[in-house]
């Protein structure tokens, strides 16, 4: 999430009660989680396992619970509870706003767009021209919809990320991380009925221009889909996935978190993806492999009884 304007690190430190170590005169431009940080961002870390990765990331300001060395030009903001400090910053810049009507007065809806009765459009939403928003669609706060977009009935755009801070030494193990990111849907996208598109934790979930999505698809937080993708019913995509242009995903495929799929890849039905995939190839199976290799494996598996009989007959 980008701040409306750069904020001094001293102001942030005062807000969260932090001690500054390092650059005391910096200006923070936004707040992000580790997978999406950019120069100028704040990020938090509360586990030694991730200290080095976080401090050496692109983040300029690190909310941390232990004093340590810091690269020149960066700053540590030392607090006892980094997660609580992070959440306080989110609450300040992106506070909860209850809705009082089905279409918020702060939303912007383009010329020629039809919003059916019973659709909900939240605060600060922008919808482009010539869109069709069908009944019972929910578009939550701060989401952006391009031109010529069709969203079928009962789809939810901008639900909170399934993302929790986990600590086993407290009474409540899983504490919800506030979702301050957005969903951005580019021009000429079609989304089927009953889909759920989670907003980014602190960045954006993006669906690229011309992409078409069938019914009952789940898209996780901070995932970016390229242009002209095709996604069949029942496919589920986890958070922080980067999917290239022209990718086809057939029914009930499952894609795990924090991986990349190259341009023009094809995932056949019920494929399970646990790692990065090159573009321009057809994949199948769980765990997924190139479809040709997987099919040959199945042929050999079917021949196991026959081969076993041959082996046993030779022993006799």
**Residues annotated as part of the active site:** 221
**Which residues partner with 28 through β-bridges?**
7
Cα distances from 75 to residues 31, 58, 62, in angstroms, run 14, 12, 6
Output Rg (C-alpha) for the chain, integer angstroms: 23
- What 3 state SS string does the chain have? CEEEEEEEHHHHHHHHCCEEEECCCCEEEEECCHHHCCCCEEEECCCHHHHHHHHCCCCCEEEECCCCCCCCCCEEEECCCHHHHHHHHHHHHCCCCCCCCCECCCCEECCCCEECCCCEECCCCEECCCCEECCCCEECCCCEECCCCEECCCCEEEECCCCEEECCCCCCCEEECCCCCEEEECCCCEECCCCEEECCCCCEEEECCCCEECCCCEECCCCEECCCCEECCCCEECCCCEECCCCEECCCCEECCCCEECCCCEECCCCEECCCECCCCEEECCCCEEHHHHHHHHHHHHCHHHHHHHHHHHHC
In this structure, what are the phi and psi dihedrals at residue 234, rounded to the nearest 5 degrees? 80, 0
């Amino acid at each position: 999430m980008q701040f409306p304007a750069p904020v001094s690190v001293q102001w942030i430190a005062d807000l969260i009660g932090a001690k500054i170590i390092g650059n005391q005169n910096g200006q923070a431009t936004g707040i992000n989680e580790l997978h999406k940080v950019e120069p100028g961002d704040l990020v938090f870390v509360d586990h030694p396992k991730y200290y080095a990765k976080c401090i050496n990331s692109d983040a300029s300001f690190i909310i941390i619970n232990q004093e340590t060395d810091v690269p020149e030009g960066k700053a540590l903001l030392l607090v006892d509870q980094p997660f609580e400090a992070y959440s306080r910053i989110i609450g300040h810049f992106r506070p909860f706003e209850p809705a009082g009507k089905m279409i918020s007065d702060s939303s912007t809806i383009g010329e020629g767009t039809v919003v059916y009765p019973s659709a909900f459009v939240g605060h600060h939403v922008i919808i482009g021209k010539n869109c069709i928003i069908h009944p019972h669609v929910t578009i939550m706060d701060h989401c952006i919809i391009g031109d010529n977009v069709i969203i079928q009935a009962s789809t939810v755009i901008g639900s909170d990320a399934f993302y929790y801070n986990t600590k086993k030494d407290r009474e409540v193990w899983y504490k919800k991380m506030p979702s301050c990111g957005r969903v951005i849907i580019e021009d000429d996208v079609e989304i089927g009925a009953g889909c759920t598109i989670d907003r980014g934790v602190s960045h954006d979930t993006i669906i690229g221009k011309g992409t078409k999505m069938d019914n009952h698809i789940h898209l996780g937080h901070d995932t970016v889909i390229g242009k002209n993708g095709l996604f069949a019913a029942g496919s589920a995509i986890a958070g922080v996935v980067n999917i290239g242009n022209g990718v086809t995903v057939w029914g009930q495929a499952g894609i795990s978190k924090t991986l990349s799929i190259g341009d023009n890849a094809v995932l056949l039905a019920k494929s399970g993806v646990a790692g990065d995939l090159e573009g321009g190839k057809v994949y199948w199976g769980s765990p997924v492999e190139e479809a040709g290799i997987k099919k040959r494996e199945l042929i050999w598996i079917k021949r196991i009884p026959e081969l076993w009989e041959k082996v046993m007959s030779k022993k006799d």
